[in-house]
Structure 1
Amino acid sequence: MYADIIVDISHENLDKTYQYAIPDSLLNKVKVGTLVKVPFGKGNRFLKGYVVGLSDIPSWDPERIKPVAEVEEKGLMIESQLIQLAYWIKDNYGSTMNDALKTVIPVKKKVKAKEKKQIELVADHRVASQYLGEFRRKKYSGKVRLLEALLEFGILDQEIVKNKLSVGRETVKSLERDGLIRVVTEQLYRNPVKNLVQSVSHVRLNETQQQIADAVINEYQNGIRKTYYIHGITGSGKTEVYMEIIAKVVAEGKQVIMLIPEISLTYQTVMRFYSRFGDRVSFLHSKLSGGERYDQYFRAKNGEIDIMIGPRSALFTPFQNLGFIIIDEEHEGSYKSESPPKYHAREAALERARLTGSSVLLGSATPSVESYQKALSGEYKLFTMDKRAGHAKLPKVWIVDLREELKKQNKSIFSYKLKELMEDRLLHKQQIMLFLNRRGYAGFVSCRSCGHVMKCPHCDVSLTSHNNGALICHYCGYEEVMPKACPSCGSKFIASFGTGTQKVEELVRREFPMARVLRMDTDTTSKKGGHEEILSAFKNQEADILIGTQMIVKGHDFPNVTLVGVLAADLSLFSSDYRSGERTFQLLAQAAGRAGRGELDGEVVIQTYQPEHYSIVAAATENYQQFYEQEIAYRTLMSYPPAEHMVAVMIASKEEEKARIASKVLYNRLEYTQNDAADTEQNKDAIVKIIGPVKASVSKINDIYRWVIYLKCKEYEKLKELKNMLQVYMEQEEFFKKCSVQFDFDPIHSY
Structure 2
Amino acid sequence: MIADIIPTKKLPRSLSALSYLVPENLSGQIKVGQLVTIPLRGSFTTGVVANLHSKRPPRHFTLKYLTSLASDKIVFTNQQIQLFSLLSKYYLSSASLFVHYSLPKILPSEWPLLPDQLASRRVSFRPRPPHYFWWATETDKYHHYQKLLLASGPGQVLIVVPKITDISALAAKLDLSSQKYLPVHSDLPRAAYFHAWLSALNNQKQIFIGTRSACFLPFSHLRLVIVDNEHSPDHKQYDLTPRYEVSQVCENNCRLHRAELIFSSPTPSLAGYYRFHPKSPKTNRHIELADLRYELENKNYTFLSDLLTNSIAKVLSDQKNVFLFLNKKGAARSNRCADCGHTFLCPTCSLPLVKQSDNRLACYYCQHFEDLPPFCPVCGGPNFQSLGLGTQKIATYLRRLYPSHSIAVLDSSTSNQNISESQIVVGTEFALDKIDWPKFGLVSLVNADELWYHSEFLSNERAYQTIISLLTRAPKNAKLIIQTFSPESALIRSLITNNPREFYQSELLFREKFRYPPFVSLVKISIQNHHSNTCQSQAKKLYQKLVSLHLPAELSEPFPIARQKIRGRFKYNLILKTKDLPSTLSALENLPSDILIDVNPQTLLD
In 2, the alpha carbon distance for the partners of 1:258 and 1:546 equals 32
**Partner residue of 1:641 out of 510, 513, 517:** 517
**Partner residue of 1:749 out of 599, 603, 606:** 603
Cross-structure match for 1:664: 540
Cross-structure match for 1:587: 466
Cross-structure match for 2:143: 240
Cross-structure match for 2:456: 577
In 1, the alpha carbon distance for the partners of 2:447 and 2:207 equals 39
Shift of 1:713: 0.9
Asked if 2 retains the 8 angstrom alpha-carbon contact of 1:308 and 1:317, the reply is no
SS of residue paired to 2:556: strand
Q: 1:110 to 1:63 in 2, by over 3 A?
A: closer
Shift of 1:581: 1.2
In 1, the alpha carbon distance for the partners of 2:227 and 2:291 equals 36
In 2, the alpha carbon distance for the partners of 1:555 and 1:305 equals 30
In 2, the alpha carbon distance for the partners of 1:612 and 1:582 equals 17
In 2, the alpha carbon distance for the partners of 1:57 and 1:256 equals 41
Asked if 2 retains the 8 angstrom alpha-carbon contact of 1:448 and 1:493, the reply is yes
- Alignment gaps of 5+ in structure 1: 24-29, 42-46, 115-219, 377-381, 388-393, 678-686, 732-739
Aligned positions of 1:473-552 closer than 5 A: 473-525=363-415, 542-552=421-431
Asked if 2 retains the 8 angstrom alpha-carbon contact of 1:327 and 1:361, the reply is yes
1:333 maps to 2:233: yes
Shift of 1:574: 1.6
**Partner residue of 2:494 out of 618, 627, 631:** 618
In 1, the alpha carbon distance for the partners of 2:264 and 2:204 equals 27
SS of residue paired to 1:319: coil
Q: 1:294 to 1:496 in 2, by over 3 A?
A: farther
SS of residue paired to 1:314: helix
Letter in 2 for 1:325: V
Aligned positions of 1:259-270 closer than 5 A: 259-270=160-171
Shift of 1:488: 1.6
> How big is each residue's C-alpha offset from its partner over 1:545-594, in whole Å with a ceiling of 9 and x where there is no partner?
34321134469883343321111211122211011111111112222222
> How big is each residue's C-alpha offset from its partner over 1:478-499, in whole Å with a ceiling of 9 and x where there is no partner?
3321111211222212133222
Cross-structure match for 1:690: 555
Q: 1:572 to 1:57 in 2, by over 3 A?
A: farther
Asked if 2 retains the 8 angstrom alpha-carbon contact of 1:227 and 1:362, the reply is yes
- Alignment gaps of 5+ in structure 2: 24-29, 40-45, 111-122
Shift of 1:628: 0.9
Cross-structure match for 1:88: 86
Asked if 2 retains the 8 angstrom alpha-carbon contact of 1:579 and 1:748, the reply is yes
In 2, the alpha carbon distance for the partners of 1:39 and 1:60 equals 25
Structure holding more helix per residue: 1
**Partner residue of 1:628 out of 501, 504, 513:** 504
In 2, the alpha carbon distance for the partners of 1:506 and 1:620 equals 30
> How big is each residue's C-alpha offset from its partner over 1:7-29, in whole Å with a ceiling of 9 and x where there is no partner?
8x799xxx999750489xxxxxx
Shift of 1:283: 2.1
SS of residue paired to 2:452: helix
Letter in 2 for 1:653: N
Shift of 1:294: 4.9
In 2, the alpha carbon distance for the partners of 1:475 and 1:53 equals 47
Letter in 1 for 2:542: L
Shift of 1:325: 1.1
Q: What value does the CA root-mean-square deviation take over the aligned residues? A: 3.9
Asked if 1 retains the 8 angstrom alpha-carbon contact of 2:138 and 2:472, the reply is yes
Asked if 2 retains the 8 angstrom alpha-carbon contact of 1:4 and 1:52, the reply is yes
1:459 maps to 2:313: no
1:316 maps to 2:216: yes
SS of residue paired to 1:720: helix
Q: 1:73 to 1:498 in 2, by over 3 A?
A: same
In 1, the alpha carbon distance for the partners of 2:52 and 2:496 equals 51
1:256 maps to 2:132: no
> How big is each residue's C-alpha offset from its partner over 1:474-527, in whole Å with a ceiling of 9 and x where there is no partner?
3333332111121122221213322223333333344333444454322233xx
Shift of 1:652: 0.9
Q: 1:35 to 1:593 in 2, by over 3 A?
A: closer
Cross-structure match for 2:484: 608
Cross-structure match for 1:734: none
> How big is each residue's C-alpha offset from its partner over 1:719-738, in whole Å with a ceiling of 9 and x where there is no partner?
2123214x2xx37xxxxxxx
Shift of 1:301: 4.4
Q: 1:246 to 1:486 in 2, by over 3 A?
A: same
Shift of 1:420: 1.6
1:370 maps to 2:235: no
**Partner residue of 1:699 out of 564, 570, 578:** 564
Letter in 1 for 2:463: T
Q: 1:221 to 1:444 in 2, by over 3 A?
A: farther
Cross-structure match for 1:226: 129
Shift of 1:35: 3.1
Shift of 1:450: 1.9
Letter in 2 for 1:370: A
Cross-structure match for 1:442: 332
Letter in 2 for 1:478: H
Q: 1:724 to 1:451 in 2, by over 3 A?
A: same
Aligned positions of 1:6-17 closer than 5 A: none
In 2, the alpha carbon distance for the partners of 1:556 and 1:480 equals 30
Letter in 1 for 2:20: Y
Letter in 1 for 2:64: I
In 2, the alpha carbon distance for the partners of 1:666 and 1:416 equals 55
1:35 maps to 2:33: yes
Shift of 1:278: 5.5
Asked if 2 retains the 8 angstrom alpha-carbon contact of 1:264 and 1:551, the reply is no
In 2, the alpha carbon distance for the partners of 1:544 and 1:294 equals 45
In 2, the alpha carbon distance for the partners of 1:642 and 1:747 equals 12
Shift of 1:692: 0.8
Structure with greater Cα Rg: 1
SS of residue paired to 2:596: strand
Shift of 1:638: 0.4
Q: 1:51 to 1:631 in 2, by over 3 A?
A: same
Letter in 2 for 1:371: G
Asked if 2 retains the 8 angstrom alpha-carbon contact of 1:265 and 1:555, the reply is no
Shift of 1:650: 0.6
SS of residue paired to 2:342: coil
Asked if 1 retains the 8 angstrom alpha-carbon contact of 2:21 and 2:66, the reply is yes
Q: 1:724 to 1:435 in 2, by over 3 A?
A: same
Asked if 2 retains the 8 angstrom alpha-carbon contact of 1:232 and 1:364, the reply is yes
Asked if 2 retains the 8 angstrom alpha-carbon contact of 1:279 and 1:305, the reply is no
Aligned positions of 1:29-68 closer than 5 A: 34-35=32-33, 49-51=48-50, 62-63=61-62, 65-66=64-65
Aligned positions of 1:399-414 closer than 5 A: 399-414=289-304
In 1, the alpha carbon distance for the partners of 2:65 and 2:108 equals 35
Letter in 1 for 2:163: E
Q: 1:221 to 1:446 in 2, by over 3 A?
A: farther
SS of residue paired to 2:598: strand
Q: 1:38 to 1:606 in 2, by over 3 A?
A: closer
